[in-house]
Each structure stands twice: as C-alpha cells, then as structure tokens.
Amino acid sequence: MKLLEVKNVSIAYEGDKNYAVEDVSFNIEDGEYVCLIGSNGSGKSTLMKGIVGLVPVTKGQINKEIAPEACAYMGQVNMIDKDFPATVWEIVLSGTQKRGRRLPFYSKKDKATAKEAMDTFEINELADRRIGNLSGGQQQRVLLARAFCRNPKLLILDEPCAGLDPVITEEFYRLLSQLNKTRHMTILMASHDMEQVASYASRVIVMNQTKEFDGSIAQWKERNQSCRNF
C-alpha cells in the first residue's frame, strides 16, 4: 500500500530563482525504511519540509494516503538550549497532544502512552532531568520518544544523528530498524552519512537537487562499486 506520493516536486525559496529541489518523484510504500542521502545543501531538508507542509511546493504534488495524525516529523535539531526548562517527561508527554487542542490536558491513556515510549527508548531514568542538560544522544532519544507517542504510521526524520558519535548513531539506527520491523513503522530518514546508514535501510534515495538514484541497498552498493572501478 502506498503511503506517500511525491510527484514532480520542485521547490524554490522565495526570492531565489534556482530550485532547491527540482522535479523529484517517488512513492513510499507501507513498511519501507527509506534513507534520503546527499551532501549538505542537496535539498534533503527542503524536500522533507515540503512533504510535511513546512515549506510550500512550487511545482508538482505531494499526496498523502494517510491522515496527518498518522505522520510524525522530527526536524533537524541542533543542541537544545541549556536553559530550556522542560523535563524529559513533560516533553515526551506533550507528544500525545492532539492537533488543535489548546490547553494541555493529559488523560490516563496519554500518560500510559508516554510511559511506553519512555520504556521503548530506555529513558525512564532521565524522566525528571531537564532536556538541556542531556547529551546529544539522550536528547535525540527523548525527541524520538515524543514523536513515537503518536504511534505514527510514517515517521519522517531529518538527520536525527547529526553531531552524535558513531557508536550512539549506530545504536540509534538499530533502534529505528527495530521499530520498522516489529512495529511496522514506515521510516523516511535524511542523512549525509552514506556509509553508516546502508546497513539498516531497505532503500536509498540520493538527492543532489534532483533525484540522482533510487533503489535498494544492494543496487546502490553495486553502483558505488562500479563507479570505483572506472
């Protein structure tokens, strides 16, 4: 089943005559783990923002076959401000909030959902800590737990491991892979790190303003191999 259709999408920022993303098309099927790779400035973040509606699409169409609530997005984050006052528990719990609800009101069910997310990402012992005081890897797990509270069908992550050390990154990718397999969560993740990603994703899309490659990990490796040989 198709969850998302990106059809001839081009995106230009206001006042910029060049496209940041040009004529990109692909579908995401239920259960896939797709990695969007490309160097800095290749249009990964712009495309993801276009998909979730944070930037307008200049040309083409984005068709979501699922409800907006069934899609969770975790934007590219830099280190969270040290003085940000919320605790880990408050941040994860806020992920259960429905759209359009103005005052936070958490039901027993919301609390149970947040607790389960804390368990899944092994952050229980951090519950009362302020997020600003945590390490980058811990912060990422908190934000992922928050996104997870919605039990999304489609999880869109923009460089979730930027700035993290390789061991923590590896662990994080393994966790995502587990969610993909055991929870049947469809994942679209951007990364500029081509090597590490390859062991977990089921499919790779290479961006360089346009879509340069789209295929399985095996096909992608084969292509890299033949590039090296020439």
Interface residues with Mg ion (CB under 5 A)?
A: 44-45
| Selected binder of ligand ADP within 22, 24, 35, 46 (CB under 6 A) | 46
- Position 50: which residue type? G
Could you give the CA distance from residue 33 to residue 47 in angstroms, rounded to a whole number?
17
CB 15 to Mg ion: min, Å: 20
The residue whose Cβ lies closest to Mg ion is: 45
When asked if residue 38 is in the footprint of ligand ADP (CB under 6 A), the reply is: yes
What is d(CA 148, CA 140) in angstroms, rounded to the nearest whole number?
12
Task: Return the one option of ligand ADP, Mg ion, none that residue 96 interacts with (CB less than 5 to 8 A, by type).
Answer: none
Q: Is 226 in the site for ligand ADP (CB under 6 A)?
A: no
How many positions of this chain bind ligand ADP (CB under 6 A)?
11
The distance of closest approach from Cβ of residue 40 to Mg ion in the complex, given in angstroms and rounded to an integer, is 7
Residue 41 CB, nearest approach to ligand ADP (Å): 4
The nearest distance, CB 12 to ligand ADP, in angstroms, is 9
Q: How far is the CB of 206 from ligand ADP (least distance, A)?
A: 11
Residue with Cβ nearer Mg ion (45 or 180): 45
Residues that bind ligand ADP (CB under 6 A): 13, 16, 20, 38, 40-46
